[in-house]
Amino acid sequence: MSKTAPNLTGVPDATASALNDSPLGRQIRDLREARRVTLAGLATSIGKSIGYVSQIERGRSEISISTLKSISEALGVNISWFFQGYDPSEPAEHGYVVRREHRRPLNFPGTGIEEELLSPTLSGEAEMILSTFAPGARSGDEQVSRMAEQSGYVISGELELLVGDRRFVLRAGDAFRIGRGEPFTAHNPGTDTSVSLWVIAPPRY
C-alpha cells in the first residue's frame, strides 16, 4: 500500500494545486510594493531573475510552493497570507469583500501585538488594519515614522500614543490621526486588551 506524502508546507493540498487559479501574482506585487521592495530586490532575495519574478507577478509563469515560500519569507509574511483575503467560492467578492474568516494576519511574536488586514487588496489608496495589543504591549522602544497618514479609532481598551513629544491616552470611542512622517510609538497601558482600527494612506503594510 502506498503512503501519501505528508504536507509540510502549511498550505492545504487542494489550495496548493490551485495556485494558478488565484490572483497570486497581483497579491505578490501589491505586498512587495506596500513593503517598498523593488522587483530587483525581491529577485535577489529569492535567488531568481528579475524577469522570472516579473512574469510571476503578471500571472505569466507558474510558481512552485517552494518559490512562494521563499517570497513569503522575503516579504515577511507566512505563506498562508497568499491564500486568504477572499473567499474562493465567491469570485464576485474578490477585491471588494473580506469575510471575517479570510482576514490576512500579521503577527509579531513576543510583542503581544497582532494585526489583521481588513482591506481586500493593497493596491488601493489606503489600507485598513485591525490592531490588537495585549496589556503592556508596545510597538517599540523607539519612535518610528511612516511616509503615510494614519488615522484610527479605538474600539476597546486603552491605547497610548507618543507622537514626537506629545502623549495621548485614548479610550474606547476615541479617534486619532498621525501625520505623514511624524514619529510615534503605540502602547497599551491598561490591564485589558486594546483593539483599534487603523487606516493608513497610502498602504504601508
Q: What three-state secondary structure class fits 75?
A: coil
From 83, 106, 135, give the residue that closes a domain. Answer: 83
Q: What three-state secondary structure class fits 12?
A: coil
Band (204; pLDDT cuts 50, 70, 90) = confident
State whether 62 and 121 are in the same domain.
no
State whether 122 and 196 are in the same domain.
yes
Which residues, 6+ apart, have CB-to-CB distance to 35 below 8 Å?
A: 75, 76, 205
- 51: domain range? 13-83
Residue 138 has pLDDT above 70, yes or no: yes
Query: Is 158 domain-assigned?
Result: yes
Cβ pair 71, 42 in contact under 8 A: yes
User: Around 111, how many Cα atoms within 13 Å sit in the side-chain half-sphere?
Assistant: 17
State whether 148 and 109 are in the same domain.
yes
Q: The C-alpha cell of 91 is what?
A: 469570485
Among 28-37, 101-110, 149-158, 167-176, the least confident range: 101-110
State whether 197 and 110 are in the same domain.
yes
Provide the CATH number for the domain around residue 138: 2.60.120.10
Give tens-digit pLDDT for 158-195. Answer: 999 999 999 999 999 999 999 999 999 999 999 999 99
Band (205; pLDDT cuts 50, 70, 90) = low
Query: Is 19 domain-assigned?
Result: yes
User: CB-based burial of residue 122 (10 Å sphere; 0-12 exposed, 13-18 middle, 19+ buried)?
Assistant: buried
State whether 103 and 141 are in the same domain.
yes
Query: Is 88 domain-assigned?
Result: no
From 56, 83, 110, give the residue that closes a domain. Answer: 83
Residue 2 has pLDDT above 70, yes or no: no
Number of domains in the chain: 2
Q: What three-state secondary structure class fits 160?
A: strand
Q: Report the predicted TM-score, pTM, of the whole model to 2 decimal places.
A: 0.76
